[in-house]
Chain A
Amino acid sequence: MRETLRVHMGWLHSWVGFLAGLLLVLVFASGTLAVFDTEITQWMQPEVSLTHSTTLTPAALQAAAQAVQAEEQKGLSAFLTLPSDRDPVLQVLHYDGYEFVGTALESTTGALVPARETAGGQFFYNFHFSLRGGNQPGVQIVTFLGFCLLVAIGSGLVIHIKALWPDLILFRPFGPRPRAWLDAHLLAGVLFLPFILFMGYTGTAIHARVLLPAQPGLPRIMAGRTRKKKPYPRGVFYRRGHYRRLLRPSSRRPVRFCKVRMAI
């Protein structure tokens, strides 16, 4: 077969699309469910009544403050979510590394709502952007998959750019099976191209810093080496201002730290 640009890009489109698509389909499905995360949580916690008033009372706020203090004493960083029409209970939540979990309080009395423990819709929300793998490697994998999606979209565009308009109105469901599937793929791909492109781009851009952090690799290694150097000589007085200036995180050259230290 002659190695044309379409054949070359077709190979890239097939393999990148197939391999990344195996996981991307999970990301897409969980993202669709994550849109309804509050409703799924409510469905999984039928004890929480949805007919509460959303107006807050001082008693409820007092109870919420006590709950926050109790969480803080446990060493957890808790926060409040106020009641709304969508979610009419007062919640004291903290992040457990995967989901925002905590207690639900009635917005009028401040009484504890005895709801069962469940991640609910938060499970899908977390799965959508990290596959429940944390920041590393979960978010990194999903961001990499986002890049793969963008490459697959770009290569697909190169392949079908000449037939974008005809593909939009061409569907042969009763033709040979591969033809029918290809028509369906082209139809869906062309019709939803703007949506897929924007969702892929924004999703990748949001977490791009996790995959490629804005820290130079070599100076970071150098910083690690300089930390292991011999301790300060005794009897030398260091001014506090110098310390603050030299140890600030924005300092780009940790090696200079040693030189200035010796000069003082």
Chain B
Amino acid sequence: MSRTQKTGLAGSSSGPDAKKSQKRQTVLRRSGLLACVCALSFITAHLIMVLTRLLPLEDARLKTDLGGMVIAALVPMLVLAGFAGRRHSWGLILGVVVCASIALASILPS
């Protein structure tokens, strides 16, 4: 029988590993969330650009310029909102709702 007594501090060697793994998990989760949010935002932006073709304007360049102005403001907002809203994933839900509404608007006949 070993004379050394267990003090209950045996977990001290696995502490840094657990911390490291937890940190890795956090970074992975954040990166995944960012990738999802970016993908949703870019799909939304693309659909908006497609939607601008239906605008009743003569000049096609004017339409794309208008679309560019809208998406340059919207994409960073969507990315930030999607990344910030973690409680109940409301950020992701907001992104999906916006994307779905734009998709619906481009599918429905004008």
A interface residues, Cβ below 8 angstroms from B: 3, 5, 8-9, 11-12, 146-147, 150-151, 153-155, 158, 201, 204-209, 212-217, 252
Contact = CB atoms under 8 A, between A and B. Distances in A.
A150 B34 contact: no
B76 A150 contact: yes
A213 B65 CA distance: 11
Contact of B76 (A154, A207, A213): A154
Contacts of A154: 76-77, 80
A221 to B, nearest CB: 14
Name the interface size band of chain B. 20 to 34
Contacts of A207: 68
A153 B63 CA distance: 27
B63 to A, nearest CB: 7
A31 B26 CA distance: 38
Contact of A215 (B30, B45, B50, B80): B50
A5 B84 CA distance: 7
Given A8-B30, A151-B79, A154-B80, A205 B68 contact: yes
Interface of B: 26, 30, 34, 42, 45-46, 49-50, 52-53, 63-65, 67-69, 71-73, 75-77, 79-80, 83-84, 86
Nearest to B77: A154
Given A11-B30, A213-B49, A216-B50, A208 B84 contact: no
A158 B84 contact: yes
A252 B67 CA distance: 18
Nearest to B49: A214
B67 to A, nearest CB: 6
Q: Which secondary structure dominates chain B's binding surface?
A: helix
A150 B67 CA distance: 17
A12 B83 CA distance: 9
A209 B50 contact: no
B34 A12 contact: yes
Contacts of B49: 208-209, 212-214
30 contacts: A3-B86, A8-B83, A9-B83, A9-B84, A11-B30, A12-B34, A12-B83, A147-B72, A147-B75, A147-B76, A147-B79, A150-B72, A150-B75, A151-B79, A153-B76, A154-B80, A158-B84, A201-B72, A201-B73, A204-B68, A208-B45, A208-B69, A208-B71, A209-B49, A209-B65, A212-B49, A214-B49, A214-B50, A214-B53, A214-B67
